[in-house]
Each structure stands twice: as C-alpha cells, then as structure tokens.
Structure 1
Amino acid sequence: MTNTALTALREPAFPDAVITEAIRWTEQNGPLDDAQALRLAASRTADAHEGITQRALLLGERIGLQPELARARQWAPWVLLGLAALIVIAGLGLAGNVVGGGERHINVIVALASLLGLHALTLLMWLLGLLLPLGSVNTASLGWIWLSLTARVAGGKRGQAPVLVRAATGLLSRAKLLPWAFGLVSHGIWSLSFTVVLAAMLFALAFRSYTLSWETTILDPEFFVRAVQALGWAPAKLGFPVPDAATVMAATPATPGAAGQRTWALWLTGCIAVYGLLPRLLLVLLSAAVLRSRRKALQPEWQEPYYRKLAARFTALAPASIVDADPGRLRGAMPASLPASQLHDTLFVIGFELPPDMPWPPAGLPAEFAAHAQRIDGSAPARRALLDQLAQARPRTVMVVCHAVSSPDRGTERFLREVLMHCGECRLWLAGAPDAGATQRWLDWLRDTGLERITASDRPDIAP
C-alpha cells in the first residue's frame, strides 16, 4: 500500500513542477538574484516553459529546495508506515473492545456503530471535500496529516518545508487532484485497518464462544428487525447470511442460549466487510486511477503574470533569428493574445527605436493613449522593463510607434511578438511616412512575418 500511495505522485515532472512553484512562492517576498541562472537556463533550451523550470531548478539548488524535497521523499514511506501502524493499533483496540469482554457478550448494534462510526464520518468528509471546495475538510484527512508530518520530519522547524507543501498542494488543487491524492493515502490506511480488524474478529469468533444480542430501552423491537434486514441486504449479495425476524427477536439478553449465534456473527462480519473494507478498497483503486489519468495536469499555470513575465525575459535573451523577408523564409506563427477576461481597460503607446530628434509624445496622439505613453531605445534592459510593466498591466490595446522610414528587422518582429503576448490588441503607427510606398513596405513585412493581425497605418487614428 505504501508504494501504491506514492507512485502516482512520483512522475519525473512532478518534483520539477513543485520546485518551480516553490520558487514562485519564495519570490513573493522579493525577487531572487537570477541573472546567472537565467542566462544558463536560456543557453540550455529555447522553450520558455522549459527555461523557467531550469531557472527554478538552479535557484532551488542554491537555496536548498531539492535536498529537502529529496529528504521528504525518503521519509514519506516511513511516516506513512508509522501512521498506518497507529491506525491499525487503534483498530485492534476497537476490535478488542468488541470481542475481548470478560463476559463474552457482544451487542451487535453497538459493535457495528463503534467499528463503522468514525469510518463513516471521515468518508463523508472526504466526499464533501470532493464535491465542494472546502479546504478545512481536506486538511482534516489522514492524507494531510501524512503530508504535514513528512514535511516536519524532513525539514525540521527552519527548513523549506512550508513553501514546498504550499507548492505541492497548489499544483494538486489546480489540477483538481488534491482530494484524490489525500484520499489515496486515507483510503489505503483505512483498508489496512479494516483488514486487520476483520482478521482479529474472525480469529476470536472462530476459537472462542460469544453471545451476540441487541438491547434497547425505548426503541420498538420491530425497529431492530427492519434495521438488521436493511443492513444485511448488501452483504447477502456476497453470500453472508441475514438473521430472519425470529432470530432477531430471539437475540436478547434474556435468552442467552438462543440459536442463530453463528448467523449473527457472520452478519456482523459481513456488514464490516461490505460497509467498511470494500468501499475503502474500491476508493483506493479509483483514486489511483484518477491520479494516473490526470497526472499531466500537474503543471504550473503558465498564464499567470509571474510566468508570463519570465517568459518575456527568456524571449529577450533568445538568440536573434533572421526575420528579413526573403524567398526562402518560413512564415512565423501569430502569437496568441491574452483572453478578454484577463484584460484591463487601459491603453498603452510605445515609441520603439525612434530617431533622437523625433519629438515625444508625437503630435496627433489620441487623448486616450496619452496616460501611458513612453519610448524605449530597443535595448534588452529597456525591453525587459517594459514587458514586465505590460505583464502586470495587461492592457486592452497597445499602439507601437515606429519610424516609417526605417527598415523593419528581426528586432522589431521579436518586440512585437512579445508585446502581443501581454495585451489584447497591438496596433502599429508608422510615424513620419514620406509616401504610401513606405507604409506598404511595412504592411508587406507584417504579412510575410505572420503578423498581419497587427493593424498598421501612417496615422494615429486607427479604427478599432
């Protein structure tokens, strides 16, 4: 059971995703010095998401995340085994209370309630946590206790355990797998506990003589007849006997020698097996199957502003590629803009690589763009600072002002693609166009580079 409980969370990509998320939470308190890690990650891969992961792994090694995660994975089976042992001992204690009395008298209803009561309550809480977003329900499970104990044992009081736990549970929650992961642990421990309890009870009932009965002061005896028949319906499908009405009415302390004791014992055993052990075993299999089928969803949310900002920084560090149109050049794919639900109703205007003598802000700039107007010289630090600002603002529209006389090049294309990743719409104002030929040259270039969705004009009043 220990190996089964851990296998679903030991995919090679999951520890890397945990480290990546842990770095994100660590940088909530302030950015880390990542200049060297960023350059090294960019040299290893051209993919922005892989680069972000590589950067996180390099920073994680520096602040000790990987060693602590490795210790946690080593301690996890042992902590789980210890927790299971405690639950099994508690189960044996309940079984001893049922069959260990000196008078060898068992009240079947009380025995059934004591053995299945806590199980039914925790199972109901798990189902609530599965159906409703109740964090307190999940944190009350055996799975959460196991995770917390593992983190404490592996990291101590001053380690990186809290941020690692937050990262792991965040990934599981985002993938809607948190109740299934905790459930896999909880159901596995309960299955083991019920197996031991049933074995102890069957051994005691097989080699010692007991009197099984029911007692009541205020309830109608017919209630027990109906309850026994209802509870015995499911076990009867698996071959367990069900006491009939005569046997139920005869099983009272006043008639200790009544017949049917074997039927009562098998009915009690069948109820514990069907309502206790069987559901937990089935849920173990279901939880493992769900974790296995959805394990690819255990990835960071790459659309968050934090990751989009890092992706823009990686793009800025990427080696420049030839983008000038030529007969053999492949058409580039149009980058995806932000969805409308993530946009803010703001407008930006950016002057990109404009001549020093060109006035700024330019004459004829619409009033709605004047609040966020700035120019950059095209250097990597200036682009990175601007893209960080766009990643936070997520504007509805960005208008880039370029010098129409200048020739569009690969730096311009890369900048426009980066801007498109952080806004809803990008427009291009070709300032200082001497004639229609200059404007047409830019329009042809946008078409050849796959950026035809960008609206370009030699006037600032571009229609939406």
Structure 2
Amino acid sequence: MTTTALRAPAFPDAVITEAVRWTEQNGPLDDASALRTAASRNADGHSRIVERARQLGERMGLQAELARGRQWAPWVLLALVALVVIAGLGLAGQVVGGSDRHINVIVALVSLLGLHALTLALWLVGLWLPAGTFGTASLGWLWLSLTARVAGGQRGQAPLLVRAATGLLTRARLLPWAFGLVSHGIWALSFAVVLAAMLFALAFRSYTLSWETTILEPAFFVRVVQALGWLPAQLGFPVPDAATVQSAVPGAAAQRTWALWLTGCIAVYGLLPRLALVLLSAAVCRHRRPALQPDWQAPYYRKLLSRFAALAPPAIVDADPGREHLTAPTGLSASEQHDGLFVVGFELPPDLPWPPAGLSASTAQVQRIDGSAPARRALLDQLAQVHPRTVLLVCHAASSPDRGTERFLREVLTHCGECRLWLTDAPNAAATQRWRDWLRDAELAHVVASDRLDAVLQEGSATA
C-alpha cells in the first residue's frame, strides 16, 4: 500500500466529507461536475472522495461556515473561561469575603469541590459508557454548541457540521477526551484563580477557621480532617491534629494550620487532578488523531469508490501469452495487392457518426462492424477477395485494445498490403499513446496509429 493511500485527510476535510454524507442521507446531490473534477485528480480513491466533498461543500457553503466557526471558537472559549473564572471568584468570595471573617472549613471545602467532584465523576463514568451519555453536560459540549450557534445562527449549516465532527470524534473514540480537554482546562484555570484569590485574602487578612455541627460527634470531624489531609501531607501541607480539631478556640498557629490544610485540599483534590487530566486528554487526542477520518468501508463510500472506478480509463488487457511465438505480419507483396483504400469501423460506439467526415470520395469500401465473430469473419472473407493495398482501421481511442483486437489486426494484415489505425474521438494524448504502446508491445510497431486522419494517411504513405 502506498503512502498516499495511507494518508488521512485533514480534520476539516474529514468534517466536510462527513457533512456531505449526512446531507445525502436525504437524497443524492447533483454531483456530475464534482465527480468529474475529483476523478481527474491523480490520487487514490479516498482522496477523490474528499475532493468531491470539497466541491459540493463549496456549493453548499460548508467551508465558509466552518471557517467562521474556527474564527469564533477562541472568542467563545475565552468568554466561557471568563464566566467560569467569575463564578470561581464568587465562590472564593463567599468563603473568605464574609463580614465576620469566619470560615467553616467543611462548608468551604464542599462549596469549592462539590460541583467539581460531581462533573469529574460523570466524566470518568462516561469513559466506560456509550458515547454521548454525559457529553452534553460537559463544558466542552457547551463550548462547541455556543460556537456553532454564534457562527452559523439557527438556519445555517452549523448543526450539520457539529453532527459530522462529533461523529468523527465518536468513531475515533475521542469524544470524551476532546470535550474533556476543554472542560479540564477551564476547571484548572478556575481553581488556579480561586487558589490565588484565597491565598491573597488569607495572607493579608485575619480569619477564624473552624467547623460546626449539631448532630455529629467531634471524633467524626477528626477522622474526616485527617483522611482528607493525608494526600496533601505527602506534598508538604500540614494536617491539624486531634487537639487542634477539637479545640473550641484555636490559637494563631492552629489557624495557620487550618488555612494551609484547606488550601492543600483544594490544590490536591481540585487543581492537580484537572491539570493531570488536561495532559492525559492532550496525549490521547494526539495519539488517536490519525483515526479522525470517515469510515471508508461504509456502503456510502464504497458506492462512491465504484462510481470513480467506472469513470477511470479502462486498462489494456494483458497481452496474449503466446504472442512471443508469433512473427509480425508483413502484409501482401506488391504483386498481390490491388489499389484502393478499405475503411473499417471496428467496435465503435453507437452514437459515433458513420461514415467519418474527411474521407476521400475515391474510397473503395467503407464498412462498420460490431466486433462479433460472424462480422469479423465476413469482413476477412471480403478482404481475402479484394486484397486492398491499404486498410484504414477506425477505432475508438478511449476504448482499450485487447487480445481480440490484436488477433483481428493480425488477420487483417494477412489480406492487405498495410494497415493503419485512425484513433477517433481521442479524449487526450495519453489515450493515443496507450494504443501506440500496445502496438509496440504486440510487436506491431510498424502499424501507423494517429488520432488525426490526415496524419495517419500521410505517415502511412511515407512508410509505404
């Protein structure tokens, strides 16, 4: 397999290709021009499908709307980050902004980590559940939806592009990781701002930190504080001992321990997990990025590949294995020939005009055969009786010569002085060269072939 065949389309091209596929679920598009343009490219079948989608996407305005979405995405993300940061500052203000300078450490911890813990648990569960189970509850999905709404409005193609993009991410098993990369990044930034605000307030204001309860035993809070403080303690944060927790009026040193314990819990259970998941999500996205391409084995794409194959020029059939044992026919000697030109149209398309324009009025015979065995036999019998000096064989240049064509040409050469090939209706120079290469490989290089009638007659006369 070639490197070109293995090359995956860029993600924007893959999104456009999938968007066109979803559009054609409701009925095929008029793609005659796009199909011809894509088929003319010297590329593999998958690249031609992508090129066809580009052509159709331009007509539908998909590329323009995708470009608008990419322009708006950073601004929407910035606005979303600003909202989350403001919300984080609001939570921090509720913790340290009270007029009585009193902080209930347990309430503060639950306020700052509660929603974070819930969304993180939903994201982790979503990794093992079918795609999209909790996707719409993430900040990543909110960012994508807002970007689509701002860039395309309600009547644009944005919903189609979103569906195509999320479909590609789902197929590559990247949907939770891509949305998670955005969500974890926003949460990490929010916790960084909250920690900065708390540390500033705790550093330059005096607060009283404690816990309160009506029905719980003090021993319960001792166990909770020590359990939550174990992991931060591994990073150097202090943990209040039982005496400090149970003290009704803790001293200044105890207040400092409480403040650092609260800060350590927020950093270890809030900021650090989100930072780690940002790095993990980025690594997974980078690793699975090559899988962000359409499912080429889907019936829709297999049908397109078949349509491109039908447009491809037919390949020359392998030469007859016994050909090397044949000698190149030289034609009849001058004494056996009769003057005259015998024109034969061989396996021409039904819609091709006949007889061809430009032939001399002195042409002795003009015939057209369909290539069937009886028609060939009848023509060869007629040539055997006439023995013309020249046979002009008119063939369709876009068609492919095969073993049957070679055998017929050899048999014609045994009943005439020379045979020339007029390759009519040639689409390009490559088609004519394909026939010449075939004549050379069939050891019939002395047969003149051209896509111009005047040229083939002049060259043939010069050769003769």
Q: Shorter-chain TM-score: what band?
A: 0.5 to 0.7
The correspondence of residues 254-333 of structure 1 with structure 2, limited to 5 A, is 255=249, 257=251, 259-325=253-319
Pairwise CA distance, 1:47: 1.3
The correspondence of residues 217-236 of structure 1 with structure 2, limited to 5 A, is 217-236=214-233
Provide TM-score, normalisation by structure 1: 0.67
CA distance in 1, matches of 2:199, 2:186: 20
Pairwise CA distance, 1:322: 1.4
Pairwise CA distance, 1:324: 2.2
Which amino acid in 1 is paired with 2:80? L
The equivalent of 1:349 in structure 2 is none
Question: In the alignment, which of 140, 143, 147 is matched to residue 140 of structure 2?
Answer: 143
The correspondence of residues 63-74 of structure 1 with structure 2, limited to 5 A, is 63-74=60-71
Pairwise CA distance, 1:46: 3.9
CA distance in 1, matches of 2:41, 2:120: 47
The correspondence of residues 367-382 of structure 1 with structure 2, limited to 5 A, is none
Which amino acid in 1 is paired with 2:102? H
CA distance in 2, matches of 1:315, 1:168: 28
The equivalent of 1:122 in structure 2 is 119
Contact 2:135 2:141 in 1 (8 A): yes
CA distance in 1, matches of 2:267, 2:373: 80
- Listed one character per residue, the Cα deviations across residues 260-301 of structure 1 (whole Å, up to 9, x for unaligned) are 000000000000000000000000000000000110000000
Distance change (3 Å), C-alpha of 1:299 and 1:91: same
Aligned to 2:82, what secondary structure does the other structure show?
helix
The correspondence of residues 338-349 of structure 1 with structure 2, limited to 5 A, is none
Question: In the alignment, which of 124, 149, 153 is matched to residue 152 of structure 1?
Answer: 149
Aligned to 2:274, what secondary structure does the other structure show?
helix
Which amino acid in 1 is paired with 2:35? L
Aligned to 2:134, what secondary structure does the other structure show?
helix
- Listed one character per residue, the Cα deviations across residues 37-69 of structure 1 (whole Å, up to 9, x for unaligned) are 000000013411111000000000001000000
CA distance in 2, matches of 1:226, 1:159: 57
Contact 1:128 1:134 in 2 (8 A): no
Aligned to 2:55, what secondary structure does the other structure show?
helix
The equivalent of 1:100 in structure 2 is 97
Contact 2:39 2:48 in 1 (8 A): yes
The answer to whether residue 201 in structure 2 is matched with residue 201 in structure 1 is: no
The equivalent of 1:60 in structure 2 is 57
- Listed one character per residue, the Cα deviations across residues 119-157 of structure 1 (whole Å, up to 9, x for unaligned) are 000001111111111524011100000000000000011
Pairwise CA distance, 1:220: 1.1
Distance change (3 Å), C-alpha of 1:217 and 1:314: same
CA distance in 2, matches of 1:268, 1:411: 85
CA distance in 2, matches of 1:25, 1:328: 52
Q: Which runs of 5+ in 2 are unaligned?
A: 1-7, 324-348, 351-371, 375-398, 403-464
The equivalent of 2:180 in structure 1 is 183
Identical amino acids, percent of aligned pairs: 80
Pairwise CA distance, 1:256: 5.9
Aligned to 1:240, what secondary structure does the other structure show?
coil
Which amino acid in 2 is paired with 1:41? A
Which amino acid in 2 is paired with 1:203? F
Runs of 4+ in 1 over 3 A off after TM superposition: 256-259, 325-329, 409-412
CA distance in 2, matches of 1:177, 1:404: 61
Provide TM-score, normalisation by structure 2: 0.67
Contact 2:91 2:111 in 1 (8 A): yes
Pairwise CA distance, 1:325: 3.5
Aligned to 2:315, what secondary structure does the other structure show?
coil
Distance change (3 Å), C-alpha of 1:328 and 1:179: farther
CA distance in 2, matches of 1:404, 1:130: 67
Contact 2:131 2:170 in 1 (8 A): no
Which amino acid in 1 is paired with 2:117? A
Pairwise CA distance, 1:258: 6.6
CA distance in 1, matches of 2:262, 2:168: 42
The equivalent of 1:243 in structure 2 is 240
Contact 2:95 2:103 in 1 (8 A): yes
Contact 2:41 2:48 in 1 (8 A): yes
Distance change (3 Å), C-alpha of 1:246 and 1:12: farther
CA distance in 2, matches of 1:325, 1:300: 39
